[in-house]
Structure 1
Amino acid sequence: MTVSVQKPLRLTYEAIITKEKLRGSLQAALYLEFATIPPYLTAVYSMKDKSAEAYQIIRSVALEEMLHINLVCNLLLAIGYTPLFVKPASDPFNGLVNAPVPYISEITYPTYILPNFYEGPYVQILAASPELIKQTFMAIEEPMQSNQPLPAQGEKFTSIGQIYQAIKEGFEYLDANIGSAALFSGTPEHQKTNYYFGSGGGKAIAVTNLETAEQAIEQIVQQGEGATPPTTEYRPKQPYGTYNRYGHRNDGTYGPILGTPFELSHYFKFRDIADGKIPLPSAYPMLPNPSIAKFTGTPAEELASHFQDDYSLMIRALEQAFADNTDTQAYFTTVVELMQGVFPTVITQLMKTPISADTNSTLGPTAGPCFEYTSITLQEITAKVSNLKKKCLQSLLPKDKSSQDEVSRAMADTWHKLDEALQKISKKIEGTPLEKHL
């Protein structure tokens, strides 16, 4: 009998000279962009003062990461491939160089992000602190040094900027060698350009040729890392002073400008917080790296499990939103509703919920969001929440209201809000093609 040995999947750098390699590299970029959102969102909602400047800054970064996901998906669609968030039964990347392993649906924390591909920091799910901002967030967004070459063949990338430089060179090589028509073979109308990303900067770009592909890549790099290393001094005689700020100029073009702190790149925004120029408000005493297993038998168990369901639903909705079709319902009816109407409610309540037997304890540790994927459907989620709401309300009825502990009352209110939010999503997508995907 002959035993076949599968060749290990190599994720180190290789020059992009085929569309399949370009596809794999873009999928890796999609994975990297998404992997930053859970730690950023956790830090945001761990802050007790939602009006604090640090809260608004980190929230804007998370929104811009959503824009980066949009731009990477447009780049994939432009070359004729559907962006993948959930690993399909038949893995199209089996044995493909530069493919992300695992898929977004398989991310677990704490983790090194694509450790055989990118020498990034160890990413954990933690409450906001100066140490987290400095050691993890700034490390993720650390700028690529000026004129830094790509790694040698077979070596890892040392910054996200390097990854996008390789992707840019891949686009340039393929455009020159196989032609623009063969490279940009996707259907332009399948791309998404009308999404609103709140207080985050930038805009979605329709990618149709090499010029617009490079514009999309440049915007991601400028927002995330800035175009110069952090040691670069202000240069008043240059046309735009310095290149670590970006935005829409008065002449209508987009690029480096002098501006407000919200126009700083992610790295410099985080540096201001880490250095204490922008103070961090107090945070909830969340248990590091929450997981369902850690909350078994605690007051937070059911709510933690529910957030896991919501998170999984968002991943599937994102895949459908950026699928190779003209459906625009998934993003507005599901992704936005989950991120704005569901996530803040669930995550904040989790961080207020002690995991000790004393539910009135204010010392912690408290629970937190569990970013673990499940395949539960929207219909199943909605039914579960409705039943939990009834169960929670019934448990409060016989009691004297004055004797009910604060956590129980807050939990009942949370289930009520979640029930309303999920019913709203269900009603919006009822009878649409999206319904069968969620």
Structure 2
Amino acid sequence: MPIRTVADLRAHIALATKVELSTIPPYLCAMYSIEDQQSEAARLIASVVVEEMLHVALTTNLLLAVGGEPDFGPGVVPTYPDFLAHHKPPLRLELRRCSVDLIRDTFMTIERPQAAGAIPEDDDFETLGQFYAALEVALADLDAEHPLFADPQPHRQLADPSFYSPVTFDAADSGGLMLIDDLTSAREALEVIIHQGEGVGTERWADPRHLELTHFHKFAQIAEGLVAIGPVLPVMANPKTDRFPAELRPVSDLFNALYGLVYLTMGDIFSGTVDQGARIGRLYALMSQCMTPTGSYLASQPVTDAETAGPTFEVYALGAEPWITAFGLAAAAAEQH
């Protein structure tokens, strides 16, 4: 669908957020499957995930800035296996154990840089860089017709730079959180996403001082054998909770509840009605202190003689009291594990 109207633009920005979110579970599943979570390979993948979350924040800020309404409800949670939205040729996203083939054929394809001079693509796109370039063009064209940033909703944007800190393998000056309130800041945010993720042409670096590789070149380090993956747990492909032994399902339910709370917390962060600092702390804790150990535990648990379970990233019905539900699931899982 071409971008001709403000409504089209908002839909495409929302699509950008959806695409960024859909890459995170495959990356995390691969990371959880690596036995040594402190290995260079695991930490390289983790550094990509952290910046994907930053990109989610920047695209959401952009959507708010042009009068859109972000959606982090259950209906936007991705399912697997599925195809990366609007990518051409079709690219299948799956939850799989880490391997050179997965990194090279899927992860590096997601993050493949656009060629220098590549045409922006606002519908089906060959590279994410071309899709983001199309957003830049549309923002300029539509802002020239009428003010796009008349009410950028700054109180709802996640713009305080102190709420984001780079992790190992990332550099502070590759970009961070920012307020988007005009065309210049919108372009700056999109450039951060492009240069951290795919880069342009043969450019390897995401930052001016050449301290941080782009996502594509981080993955290339693994695919080319420069960074060894090391021992990997035999996680089953595209795991589902109902395929697990009964005693393991409470752990899977807990993981999926935690994943649901991540979306709930992101919705809160951009609502304009809560203390963003407290919610950011909660988001970090959910992902690093709760999801990571639970996902890694699932990846270590045998379901057959040849395979282990793994994180399923399924929607779990949290009900009217989501945190109480999650605490109950944690207690049930702890009884057996």
Tell me the TM-score normalized by structure 1.
0.71
CA distance in 1, matches of 2:192, 2:331: 43
Shift of 1:118: 5.2
| 1:310 alignment partner in structure 2 | 258
Distance of aligned partners of 1:31 and 1:330 in 2 relative to their CA distance in 1, 3 Å threshold: farther
- 1:28 equivalent to 2:15? Answer yes
Name the SS for the 1:300 alignment partner: helix
Q: How far apart are 1:380 and its partner, in Å?
A: 1.4
Within a 5 Å distance, the mapping from 1:99-118 to structure 2 comes to: 103-105=75-77, 107-115=78-86
| Corresponding position of 1:37 | 24
Paired residue type of 2:111: E
**2:156 and 2:269 in contact (8 A); partners too:** no
1:82-101 equivalence runs, <5 A = 82-86=69-73
Q: Does 1:373 align with 2:315?
A: yes
Give secondary structure in 2 for the equivalent of 1:205.
Answer: coil
2:271 partner amino acid: A
- CA deviation after TM superposition for structure 1 residue 264, in Å: 1.0
Alpha-carbon deviations, 1:296-341, whole Å to 9, x = none? x344222112111111111111111122445415632431111011
Asked which structure has the greater RCO (Cα within 8 Å, sep 6+), the reply is 2
Q: Secondary structure at the match of 2:155?
A: helix
1:227 is matched with 200
**Correspondences of 1:35-74 after superposition (within 5 Å):** 35-74=22-61
Tell me the CA shift for residue 17 of structure 1.
2.9
Counterpart residue number, 2:129: 161
Corresponding residue of 2:151: 185
Superposed, 1:327-366 pairs within 5 Å as: 327-328=275-276, 331-356=279-304, 364-366=306-308
Instruction: Figure out how many residues of one structure are paired with residues of the other and give that number.
Output: 327
Task: Verify the 8 A CA contact 2:112 2:127 in the aligned structure 1.
Answer: yes
- Cα distance in 1 for partners of 2:262, 2:325 equals 15
Distance, in Å, in 1 between the alignment partners of 2:235 and 2:273 is 40
Which residue in 2 is equivalent to 1:126? 96
Aligned to 1:172: 140
Q: CA, structure 1 residues 29+341, in 2 after alignment: closer, same or farther (shift >3 Å)?
A: same
Deviations 1:165-199 (A, max 9, x none): 111111101111113xx434222232112322440
CA distance in 2, matches of 1:344, 1:383: 19
CA distance in 1 between partners of 2:332 and 2:35 (Å): 30
Q: Residue type matched to 1:378 in 2?
A: W
Contact persistence 2:129–2:199 (CA under 8 A) = no
1: CA distance between counterparts of 2:332 and 2:197? 42
Aligned residue number for residue 203 of structure 1: 176
Q: Give the CA deviation at 1:291.
A: 0.9
Residues 1:290 and 2:239 aligned together = yes
Residues 223-254 of structure 1 show CA distances to partners (whole Å, capped at 9, x for unaligned) of 111122xxx3xxxxxxxxxx33132xxxxxxx
Structure 1 residue 383 corresponds to structure 2 residue 336 = no
Give identity over the alignment, percent. 30
Code of the residue aligned with 1:373 in structure 2: it is: V
Whether 1:244 aligns to 2:204 is yes
Runs of 4+ in structure 1 displaced over 6 angstroms? none
Structure 1 position 135 matched with structure 2 position 105: yes
SS in 1 for 2:233: coil
Task: Tell me, yes or no, if the aligned pair for 1:120 and 1:140 is still in contact at 8 Å.
Answer: no
Match of 1:276 in 2: 225
1:303–1:342: structure 2 CA closer, same or farther, 3 Å change rule? Answer: same
Deviation, structure 1 residue 43: 1.3
Residues 343-389 of structure 1: CA deviation (Å, up to 9, x unaligned): 12111111111113xxxxxx641110011112311111212322443
What's the offset of the Cα at 1:37? Answer: 0.6
Partner-residue secondary structure (3-state), 1:70: helix
Provide the C-alpha distance between the structure 2 equivalents of 1:289 and 1:184, rounded to a whole number of angstroms: 44
Whichever structure has more helix as a proportion of its residues is: 2
Change (3 A) 1:329 1:203: closer
Q: Distance in 1 between matches of 2:127 and 2:266?
A: 26
Between 299-308 and 128-137, the greater mean CA deviation after superposition: 299-308
Provide the rounded CA distance (Å) in 2 between the counterparts of 1:312 and 1:145. Answer: 37
Counterpart code for 1:183: F
- CA distance in 2: counterparts of 1:364 and 1:331, whole angstroms: 40
Q: Is there any run of 5+ residues in structure 1 with no aligned partner, and where?
A: 1-12, 88-102, 233-242, 248-256, 357-362, 393-410, 412-438
Gaps of 5+ in 2: none
The alignment status of 1:146 with 2:103, answered yes or no, reads no
Give 1:372's aligned amino acid: E
Within 5 A, what are the aligned runs for 1:397-412? 411=337
8 Å contact 1:82–1:322 — kept in the other structure? no
CA distance in 2, matches of 1:347, 1:22: 36
TM-score by length of 2: 0.91
One-letter code of the match for 1:38? P
In structure 1, how many angstroms separate the alpha carbons of the residues matched to 2:277 and 2:317?
A: 20
